[in-house]
Amino acid sequence: MITLKTLAYDFNALEPFIDAKTVEIHHTKHHQWYVDKLNWLIAGTEFENMNLENIIINSNGAIFNNAAQVWNHTFYREGMNWQAENEKWDFTYRQAKVKDQIEKKRGSFENFKTEFTNNAIWNFGSGWTWLVKDGNGELSIVNTSNAENPMTSGLIPLLTVDVWEHAYYLKYQNRRAEYLENWRSLVNWEKVEELYKN
Ligand code: MN
Protein backbone atom coordinates (compact mmCIF):
# COMPACT_ATOMS: atom_id res chain seq x y z
CA MET A 1 0.00 0.00 0.00
CA ILE A 2 1.49 3.27 -1.14
CA THR A 3 0.46 6.41 0.73
CA LEU A 4 0.56 10.05 -0.27
CA LYS A 5 3.17 11.85 1.81
CA THR A 6 1.73 14.76 3.73
CA LEU A 7 2.48 18.18 2.30
CA ALA A 8 5.10 19.80 4.52
CA TYR A 9 3.80 23.32 3.94
CA ASP A 10 0.52 25.21 3.57
CA PHE A 11 -1.08 25.47 0.17
CA ASN A 12 -0.19 29.18 0.02
CA ALA A 13 3.43 28.73 1.10
CA LEU A 14 4.82 28.97 -2.44
CA GLU A 15 3.01 32.24 -3.23
CA PRO A 16 3.56 34.37 -5.21
CA PHE A 17 5.61 32.00 -7.37
CA ILE A 18 3.12 29.14 -7.39
CA ASP A 19 -0.44 29.94 -6.35
CA ALA A 20 -2.29 28.20 -3.52
CA LYS A 21 -5.03 26.79 -5.75
CA THR A 22 -2.48 25.06 -7.99
CA VAL A 23 -0.64 23.59 -4.99
CA GLU A 24 -3.93 22.37 -3.50
CA ILE A 25 -5.24 20.75 -6.68
CA HIS A 26 -1.82 19.33 -7.57
CA HIS A 27 -1.54 17.66 -4.16
CA THR A 28 -5.09 16.66 -3.27
CA LYS A 29 -6.30 15.75 -6.78
CA HIS A 30 -3.46 14.92 -9.19
CA HIS A 31 -0.93 13.44 -6.78
CA GLN A 32 -3.63 11.66 -4.74
CA TRP A 33 -5.13 10.22 -7.93
CA TYR A 34 -1.80 8.64 -8.94
CA VAL A 35 -1.54 7.09 -5.46
CA ASP A 36 -5.11 5.75 -5.55
CA LYS A 37 -4.76 4.37 -9.04
CA LEU A 38 -1.44 2.73 -8.23
CA ASN A 39 -2.88 0.98 -5.18
CA TRP A 40 -5.79 -0.25 -7.23
CA LEU A 41 -3.44 -1.53 -9.98
CA ILE A 42 -0.99 -3.33 -7.67
CA ALA A 43 -3.59 -4.99 -5.43
CA GLY A 44 -3.07 -8.75 -5.59
CA THR A 45 0.03 -8.51 -7.79
CA GLU A 46 3.75 -9.09 -7.18
CA PHE A 47 4.07 -5.32 -6.65
CA GLU A 48 1.64 -5.13 -3.77
CA ASN A 49 4.26 -5.18 -1.01
CA MET A 50 7.16 -3.55 -2.88
CA ASN A 51 8.43 -0.11 -2.06
CA LEU A 52 7.84 2.63 -4.60
CA GLU A 53 11.39 2.67 -6.02
CA ASN A 54 11.31 -1.06 -6.67
CA ILE A 55 7.93 -0.82 -8.35
CA ILE A 56 9.35 1.87 -10.65
CA ILE A 57 12.44 -0.14 -11.55
CA ASN A 58 10.55 -3.40 -12.12
CA SER A 59 7.27 -2.43 -13.74
CA ASN A 60 6.03 -1.07 -17.03
CA GLY A 61 2.79 0.20 -18.53
CA ALA A 62 0.11 1.61 -16.25
CA ILE A 63 1.76 0.46 -13.02
CA PHE A 64 5.02 2.13 -14.00
CA ASN A 65 3.28 5.33 -15.08
CA ASN A 66 1.37 5.75 -11.85
CA ALA A 67 4.24 4.68 -9.58
CA ALA A 68 6.67 7.05 -11.29
CA GLN A 69 4.16 9.88 -11.12
CA VAL A 70 3.76 9.33 -7.36
CA TRP A 71 7.56 9.46 -6.92
CA ASN A 72 8.14 12.36 -9.34
CA HIS A 73 5.56 14.57 -7.65
CA THR A 74 6.96 13.96 -4.17
CA PHE A 75 10.45 14.69 -5.46
CA TYR A 76 9.33 17.87 -7.23
CA ARG A 77 7.58 19.08 -4.11
CA GLU A 78 10.54 18.38 -1.84
CA GLY A 79 12.82 20.19 -4.28
CA MET A 80 11.04 23.42 -3.45
CA ASN A 81 11.76 25.31 -0.26
CA TRP A 82 8.77 27.11 1.13
CA GLN A 83 11.01 29.32 3.27
CA ALA A 84 13.22 30.29 0.40
CA GLU A 85 13.67 33.87 -0.47
CA ASN A 86 16.14 34.85 -3.12
CA GLU A 87 18.82 35.95 -0.67
CA LYS A 88 18.70 32.81 1.41
CA TRP A 89 18.64 30.76 -1.76
CA ASP A 90 21.72 32.51 -3.16
CA PHE A 91 23.53 32.11 0.14
CA THR A 92 22.74 28.41 0.30
CA TYR A 93 23.89 27.98 -3.24
CA ARG A 94 27.17 29.84 -2.74
CA GLN A 95 28.08 27.35 -0.02
CA ALA A 96 27.16 24.27 -1.96
CA LYS A 97 29.56 21.66 -3.34
CA VAL A 98 27.16 21.09 -6.20
CA LYS A 99 27.86 24.71 -7.18
CA ASP A 100 31.49 23.91 -8.06
CA GLN A 101 30.33 21.02 -10.15
CA ILE A 102 27.69 23.08 -11.97
CA GLU A 103 30.15 25.85 -12.70
CA LYS A 104 32.82 23.42 -13.83
CA LYS A 105 30.41 21.80 -16.23
CA ARG A 106 28.44 24.85 -17.43
CA GLY A 107 30.94 27.69 -17.07
CA SER A 108 28.66 29.70 -14.80
CA PHE A 109 25.47 29.38 -12.85
CA GLU A 110 23.77 31.75 -15.28
CA ASN A 111 24.59 29.38 -18.15
CA PHE A 112 23.21 26.50 -16.15
CA LYS A 113 19.96 28.33 -15.40
CA THR A 114 19.53 29.25 -19.07
CA GLU A 115 20.24 25.72 -20.21
CA PHE A 116 17.94 24.15 -17.63
CA THR A 117 15.12 26.54 -18.50
CA ASN A 118 15.58 26.04 -22.25
CA ASN A 119 15.43 22.29 -21.80
CA ALA A 120 12.22 22.65 -19.81
CA ILE A 121 10.69 25.06 -22.34
CA TRP A 122 11.47 22.69 -25.21
CA ASN A 123 10.35 19.57 -23.37
CA PHE A 124 7.50 18.83 -25.76
CA GLY A 125 4.11 18.07 -24.25
CA SER A 126 3.89 16.66 -20.72
CA GLY A 127 6.96 15.64 -18.78
CA TRP A 128 9.73 16.53 -16.40
CA THR A 129 13.10 18.29 -16.66
CA TRP A 130 15.81 16.99 -14.34
CA LEU A 131 19.23 17.72 -12.95
CA VAL A 132 20.86 14.32 -12.49
CA LYS A 133 24.22 12.87 -11.58
CA ASP A 134 25.74 9.70 -12.95
CA GLY A 135 27.91 7.12 -11.18
CA ASN A 136 31.00 9.34 -11.58
CA GLY A 137 29.29 12.36 -10.03
CA GLU A 138 28.95 14.07 -13.44
CA LEU A 139 25.94 16.33 -13.76
CA SER A 140 23.54 16.47 -16.69
CA ILE A 141 20.23 18.05 -17.54
CA VAL A 142 17.74 15.60 -19.00
CA ASN A 143 14.17 15.77 -20.22
CA THR A 144 11.70 12.96 -19.80
CA SER A 145 8.20 12.57 -21.22
CA ASN A 146 5.02 11.70 -19.37
CA ALA A 147 5.97 9.73 -16.23
CA GLU A 148 9.50 8.69 -17.27
CA ASN A 149 12.12 8.90 -14.54
CA PRO A 150 15.93 8.96 -15.08
CA MET A 151 16.39 6.34 -12.33
CA THR A 152 15.42 3.73 -14.90
CA SER A 153 18.57 4.73 -16.86
CA GLY A 154 20.75 4.39 -13.76
CA LEU A 155 20.95 8.15 -13.14
CA ILE A 156 20.45 9.80 -9.76
CA PRO A 157 17.87 12.61 -9.71
CA LEU A 158 18.93 15.77 -7.84
CA LEU A 159 16.18 18.16 -8.87
CA THR A 160 13.11 18.18 -11.08
CA VAL A 161 10.47 20.52 -12.38
CA ASP A 162 7.01 19.42 -13.46
CA VAL A 163 6.18 20.75 -16.92
CA TRP A 164 2.81 19.08 -17.24
CA GLU A 165 0.34 21.90 -17.88
CA HIS A 166 -1.56 21.19 -14.65
CA ALA A 167 1.56 22.36 -12.76
CA TYR A 168 1.17 25.94 -13.99
CA TYR A 169 -1.91 26.44 -16.13
CA LEU A 170 -4.18 28.11 -13.53
CA LYS A 171 -1.75 30.94 -12.90
CA TYR A 172 0.37 31.06 -16.03
CA GLN A 173 -1.85 29.51 -18.73
CA ASN A 174 0.49 28.90 -21.70
CA ARG A 175 3.39 30.90 -20.22
CA ARG A 176 5.63 27.99 -19.26
CA ALA A 177 8.78 30.15 -19.35
CA GLU A 178 7.36 32.51 -16.73
CA TYR A 179 6.41 29.57 -14.49
CA LEU A 180 9.95 28.21 -14.80
CA GLU A 181 11.48 31.60 -14.03
CA ASN A 182 9.42 31.76 -10.83
CA TRP A 183 9.92 28.12 -9.89
CA ARG A 184 13.68 28.79 -9.88
CA SER A 185 13.20 31.12 -6.93
CA LEU A 186 11.89 28.18 -4.89
CA VAL A 187 14.61 25.63 -5.57
CA ASN A 188 15.72 23.93 -2.37
CA TRP A 189 19.47 23.89 -2.94
CA GLU A 190 20.10 22.36 0.45
CA LYS A 191 18.20 19.31 -0.73
CA VAL A 192 20.06 19.25 -4.06
CA GLU A 193 23.35 19.51 -2.19
CA GLU A 194 22.38 16.66 0.16
CA LEU A 195 21.50 14.41 -2.77
CA TYR A 196 24.65 15.39 -4.65
CA LYS A 197 26.90 14.51 -1.71
CA ASN A 198 25.25 11.14 -1.04
MN1 MN B 1 2.06 17.31 -11.83
What is the 162 CA–ligand 1 centroid distance (Å)?
6
Q: Residue 112 pLDDT > 80, yes or no?
A: yes
Pick from 49, 78, 107: which residue ends a domain?
Answer: 78
What is the 55 CA–ligand 1 centroid distance (Å)?
19
Tell me what the mean pLDDT of segment 103-129 comes to: 92
What is the 168 CA–ligand 1 centroid distance (Å)?
9
Question: Are residues 184 and 153 part of one domain?
Answer: yes
Number of H helices, E strands in the chain: 10, 3
Question: Are residues 108 and 73 part of one domain?
Answer: no
Pick from 78, 106, 123: which residue ends a domain?
Answer: 78
What is the 105 CA–ligand 1 centroid distance (Å)?
29
DSSP 51-93: -HHHHHHH--HHHHHHHHHHHHHHHHHHTB-TT--HHHHHHHH
What is the 93 CA–ligand 1 centroid distance (Å)?
26
- Residue 104 or 34, more confident: 34
Query: How many CA atoms lie less than 13 Å away from 33 in the CB half-sphere?
Result: 6
What is the 32 CA–ligand 1 centroid distance (Å)?
11
Q: What are phi and psi of 7, to 5 degrees?
A: -70, 130
Number of domains in the chain: 2
Question: Are residues 177 and 101 part of one domain?
Answer: yes
- pLDDT band for position 105 (50/70/90)? confident
Amino acid found at 115: E
> Picking from 77-81, 98-102, 121-125, 145-149, which range would have the lowest pLDDT averaged per residue?
98-102
Distances (CA, A) of 16 to 10, 11, 12, 27, 147: 13, 11, 8, 18, 27
Domain assignment present for 175: yes
**What are the pLDDT digits (tens) for 57-75?**
999 999 999 999 999 999 9
- Residue 185 or 149, more confident: 149
Question: Are residues 101 and 71 part of one domain?
Answer: no
Domain that holds residue 179: 97-197
